[in-house]
């Protein structure tokens, strides 16, 4: 089926090499002399733009407003919240020099912007009328990672960060200071953290002295959240849906949803492409492969780039008034009447979107094992990729023991819970928890 | 007309104070402890998003693709192009420390990304088939300015930078290495550089060793351009269209195009607002001022924020089935039948857009003086704000003389030219050139 395909490592043989091959062959990313940072190439960036557009629209519908904060944080400002600085100081990039002059106070490039938002909130929040305050920012953050992998762990990260402040009465949170996480399971059973959301309570607000006057004219401290997701989601899409032919993109985020492939250059074929494409719904982006490559090479290129649908058009097909449609998720080929193509394409894009979701969901569920027996837990951990769901007493001693003895780390706590025993210490359990390996 | 208006300095008394007042009162920008950087608040950022969306759409129609480069540039990479580093090194922010470790090589935060693009182009351009290559990037850049003013001069700048590579034969440029500039004249007659475009010829390409094989399989060096515009455009809009009541926004970039102001809260009034707004064209963004402020305060707030149209609705108006429409550009009030409002709003938005453009154009043209007599030049320079168009021999000695003797600097060369004499040295002139003061 052409040259490109053979360049991709088998995903069941070496998942890491397979990932790197896809990143390269689908033209998502390139490297530069800037160690630990990546160049996001047009095709990769277009996927990010589609993710951004979707999220931005949803955020705005929920009442969030976009703002832009400075990218630098003076050391003293980072130091205001003690736990926060402890977490981030070891992994920030420090600017110490502006032009030829040493700075009086060094500044880091934001690793996240809580302290900048808090300083601003203190200045603009006066009364209950100002709450809730729902802000979001699209920007680049920096964390000085030692080992990096494109989209998964990088020194520079494109992301959005939501920062919100609330009154007590109307917007209830659970009492605890908590972090919610999306732990997506990749094809190889390993977890990829794909977005987190923090409920800070009044911690930052108190450190920064943020207050508001309530309806009774009494001074109150607001409650705070933050949440974000990053270009890491692109890595998640690759590792969830990709196959041995390359990337497989869900139609909703695919920059090109349909690729037309003329089997040879001919006026008649181009006329048919023109006719079909002019009848496609405007939201269905498409392109035409007019390159001087062989048909096999063109098919492989459409596959490696994960384009949801390709339409092959040869002169022999045209004699019968048909074209060949190939859907990327199943690689199934369908011959179809030219006049039916626009409707069929729309129908197929929906089917592919649904199929990819359901296929991934089914695979994920088939790789979650539930046990409250530690021996069985160890057996599964040693032999099967995926997550293990188990009871847990809530003590870190048990988490540490599991990590040491099996290599698995706690991923997240399940929302619902039934009474039971912690399989690790035999005490009464407080939670149901997922264990797994992580990227 | 309410409290807000009185807070704004008269624009003809003190233009700089007027500018600062508008920035503050229209909630465009806030300050933080990060010196030289600004916080762009939701209303200011929404204007930028509208500018971005428009430009991004136009760039894509012209075939440009968005990419994302690293934000850091290692010192050695910045040093590859000698003229380039000379221009930027004195005004960059240097990262010297990552986490607890000093970096082996310091890196600057990009002041612009030519060198990063060139390094990448060298890797991806192989043959004439890869050209033209039309890339664009939306990002933040840093220039370590000593004195800063919101939107006009800032240490952090949100911008787009286009970087393109071309073959010789098809895409012709003038032979010279040139910079094109948009020198927008502000209300006070002072120039604001609002975007530049550089034609680099083969300079960078040769420094970086970028080559391609042409149709005859011969090695060639491509030709390069870059171009960009920034959030400074927001400053330009303020200083071009604003008046003593506040900001005046062209409808095409106004985040809120229509504001409904109920004269008092009543079910009947809200029903009418609901009826009108549901009939507005979907692209006409609107909001409703339900605050507990007085009508006068609400009118002033709509004015200071530059909202193109406000619709005042009182109960007495409703008895006659009319509402009052006020257009921001002229502050003209019109009473209009409720059923005619949606059509009238659409019509007015177009009129306001055109009127603002034509009004600014007329003012600009009225403040451009043409003379080839140096005495008259000096007289105008001393007494009248604006630009002076004159012949010029092309020698910097004459530019320097004019600067020293009148304070005016050359802004840009006019495209067309007729033969004449340089008024400063009496030699034969080569160009027509604009002189003026600048932000």
Query: What does pLDDT average to over chain B?
Result: 94
- Which H/E stretch holds residue A299? helix A295-304
Is a pLDDT exceeding 80 seen at residue B201?
yes
On whether residue B246 sits in a domain, the answer given is no
Question: Does residue A26 sit in the same domain as residue A139?
Answer: yes
For residue B392, being part of any structural domain is answered with yes
Is residue B420 a contact partner of residue B394, using CB atoms and an 8 Å limit?
A: no
pLDDT band per the 50, 70, 90 thresholds, residue A90: confident
| CATH number reported for the structural domain that contains residue A272 in this entry | 3.40.50.800
Q: For residue A366, give the H/E element and its range.
A: helix A341-366
A278 shares a domain with A375: no
Dist. CA B71–CA A148, nearest whole Å: 16
Mean pLDDT value of segment B90-115: 95
- C-alpha distances in angstroms, A89 versus A116, B61, B98? 15, 44, 10
Threshold 0.90, pTM exceeds? yes
Domain count, chain A: 3
Which chain B residues are closer than 8 Å to A37 by Cβ? 70-72
Give the pLDDT band (50/70/90) at residue A54.
very high
For residue B378, give the CATH number of its domain: 3.30.110.30
Chain B: closest CA distance from residue A77 (Å): 8
Q: Are residues B135 and B41 in the same domain?
A: yes
Contact A69 B32 (CB under 8 A): yes
The whole-angstrom distance between A81's CA and the closest CA on chain B is: 15
Each residue of B268-284: b (16+ CB within 10 Å) or e? ebeebbeebbeebeeeb
Rounded Cα distance, B421 and B95, in Å: 51
Is there a contact between A224 and A163 (Cβ–Cβ < 8 Å)?
Answer: yes
Assess whether pLDDT exceeds 70 at residue B141.
yes
Return the pLDDT at B75. 95
* Count of pairs with CB atoms under 8 A, one residue in A, one in B: 148
Which of B193, B214, B240 terminates a domain? The answer is B240
CB contact under 8 A, B144 and A32: no
pLDDT band at A419 (very low <50, low <70, confident <90, very high): confident
The share of chain B scoring above pLDDT 70, in percent, equals: 97
Nearest to A158 among B68, B92, B144 (CB): B68
CATH of the domain at B171: 3.30.930.10
A206-259 pLDDT per residue, tens = 999 999 999 999 999 999 999 999 999 999 999 999 999 999 999 999 999 999
**Please, which residues have CB within 8 angstroms of residue B283's CB and are 6 or more apart in sequence?**
none
List of residues 6+ apart from B76 with CB closer than 8 A: A33, B105
pLDDT at B176: 54
Contact check, Cβ <8 Å, B123/A67: no
**Per-residue confidence at A170, pLDDT binned at 50, 70, 90?**
low
Q: Is residue A42 part of a domain?
A: yes
Q: Does one domain contain both B337 and B218?
A: no
Distances (CA, A) of B235 to A225, B267, B314, B360, B386: 33, 40, 36, 15, 18
Minimum CA–CA partner of A72 in chain B: B34
Give the confidence band of A324 by pLDDT, cuts at 50, 70, 90. very high
> Does residue B222 sit in the same domain as residue B272?
no
What does the pLDDT read at residue B175?
47
Q: Do A40 and B142 touch (CB under 8 A)?
A: no
Residue A9: inside a domain = yes
Mean pLDDT over B84-105 rounds to 92
Average pLDDT of the segment spanning B122-140? 97
Of the candidates A2, A37, A124, the one whose C-alpha atom is nearest the C-alpha of residue B113 is A37
Tens of pLDDT, residue by residue over B311-356, are 999 999 999 999 999 999 999 999 999 999 999 999 999 999 999 9
What average pLDDT does range A274-303 have in this prediction? 96
Q: Do A97 and B97 touch (CB under 8 A)?
A: no
- Residues A228, A263: one domain? no
| Whole-number average pLDDT of chain A | 94
CB contact under 8 A, A37 and B70: yes
Q: Are residues B67 and B173 in the same domain?
A: yes
Q: What is the mean pLDDT of residues A292-318?
A: 96
Chain B positions touching A70 (Cβ under 8 A) are 32, 34, 37-39, 156
In a domain? residue B245: no
Both tokens of B69, joined, read: 């480069």
Does B5 score more than 80 pLDDT? no
- Is the pLDDT score of A34 beyond 80? yes
Structure-model confidence comparison of residues A419 and A20, the more confident one: A20
Contact A42 B142 (CB under 8 A): no
Strands A333-337 and A322-327: antiparallel
Q: Which residues contact B217 (CB under 8 A, 6 or more apart)?
A: none
> Can you give the pLDDT at residue A2?
42
Are residues B352 and B209 part of one domain?
no
Q: Give a yes or no: residue A101 inside a domain.
A: no
Share of chain A above pLDDT 70, in %: 97
- Residues A233 and A260 reside in one and the same domain: no
User: Per the CB < 8 Å rule, is A32 touching B120?
Assistant: yes
From residue A19, alpha-carbon distances to A24, A188, B220 in Å are 9, 11, 35
| Residue of chain A nearest B41, judged by CA positions | A67
For residues B148 and B234, membership in a common domain is answered with yes
Domain limit, last residue, from B320, B341, B363? B363
Pick the more confident residue, B57 or B201.
Answer: B57
Report whether pLDDT(B367) > 60.
Answer: yes
Question: Does any domain span residue A107?
Answer: no
Residue A282: inside a domain, yes or no?
yes
* Closest-CA residue of chain B to A129: B291
pLDDT at A1: 39
Structure tokens at A109: 């490039």
**What is the mean pLDDT of the segment spanning A116-126?**
97
**In the predicted model, is pLDDT for residue A175 greater than 60?**
no
Q: Are residues B165 and B20 in the same domain?
A: yes
Structural domain including B425 reads 368-436
pLDDT average, residue stretch A323-330: 98
Which residue in the block uniquely carries the two structure tokens 């496609």?
A280
Domain end (from A180, A211, A240): A240
pLDDT for the residue numbered A77: 95
Phi, psi of A87 (to 5 degrees): -70, -35
Which stretches does DSSP call E strand in B87-222?
93-98, 101-109, 133-142, 156-166, 178-185, 191-201, 212-213, 219-220
Q: Is the pLDDT assigned to residue A159 strictly greater than 70? A: yes
Please report, rounded to a whole number, the percentage of residues in chain A having pLDDT higher than 90.
91
* Interatomic CA distance for residues A237 and A247, integer angstroms: 9
Question: What's the pLDDT score for residue B6?
Answer: 59
Condensed to tens digits (0 to 9), the pLDDT of residues B166-189 reads: 997 555 444 457 889 999 999 999
Same domain, B136 and B10: yes
């Amino acid at each position: 089926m052409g040259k490109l395909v053979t360049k991709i490592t088998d995903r069941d043989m070496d998942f890491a090499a397979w990932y790197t091959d896809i990143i390269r062959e689908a033209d998502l990313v390139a490297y530069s002399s800037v160690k630990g940072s990546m160049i996001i190439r047009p095709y990769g960036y277009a996927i990010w733009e589609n993710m951004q557009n979707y999220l931005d629209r949803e955020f705005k519908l929920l009442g969030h407003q976009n703002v832009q904060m400075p990218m630098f944080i003076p050391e003293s400002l980072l130091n205001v919240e003690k736990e926060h600085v402890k977490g981030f100081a070891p992994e920030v990039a420090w600017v110490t020099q502006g032009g030829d002059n040493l700075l009086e106070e060094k500044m880091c490039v934001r690793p996240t912007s809580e302290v900048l938002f808090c300083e601003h909130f203190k200045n603009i929040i006066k009364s209950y009328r100002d709450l809730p305050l729902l802000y979001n920012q699209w920007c680049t953050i920096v964390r000085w990672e030692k080992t990096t992998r494109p989209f998964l762990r990088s020194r520079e990260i494109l992301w959005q960060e939501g920062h919100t402040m609330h009154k007590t009465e109307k917007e209830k949170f659970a009492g605890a200071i908590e972090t919610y996480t999306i732990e997506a399971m990749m094809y190889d059973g390993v977890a990829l953290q794909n977005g987190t959301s923090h409920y800070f309570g009044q911690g930052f607000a108190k450190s920064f002295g943020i207050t508001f006057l309530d309806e009774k004219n009494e001074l109150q401290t607001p409650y705070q959240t933050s949440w974000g997701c990053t270009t890491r989601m692109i890595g998640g899409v690759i590792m969830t849906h990709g196959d041995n032919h390359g990337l497989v993109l869900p139609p909703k985020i695919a920059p090109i949803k349909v690729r037309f492939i003329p089997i040879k250059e001919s006026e008649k074929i181009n006329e048919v492409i023109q006719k079909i494409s002019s009848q496609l719904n405007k939201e269905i982006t498409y392109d035409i492969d007019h390159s001087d490559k062989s048909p096999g090479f063109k098919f492989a290129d459409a596959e490696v780039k994960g384009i949801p649908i390709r339409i092959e058009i040869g002169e022999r097909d045209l004699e019968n008034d048909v074209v060949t449609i190939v859907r990327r998720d199943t690689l199934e080929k369908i011959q179809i009447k030219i006049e039916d193509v626009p409707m069929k394409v729309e129908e197929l894009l929906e089917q592919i979107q649904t199929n990819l979701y359901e296929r991934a969901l089914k695979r994920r569920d088939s790789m979650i094992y539930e046990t409250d027996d530690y021996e069985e837990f160890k057996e599964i951990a040693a032999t099967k990729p995926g997550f293990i769901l188990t009871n847990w007493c809530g003590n870190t001693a048990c988490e540490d023991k599991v990590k040491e003895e099996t290599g698995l780390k706690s991923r997240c706590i399940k929302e619902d819970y039934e009474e039971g025993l912690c399989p690790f210490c035999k005490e009464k359990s407080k939670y149901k928890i997922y264990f797994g390996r992580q990227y």
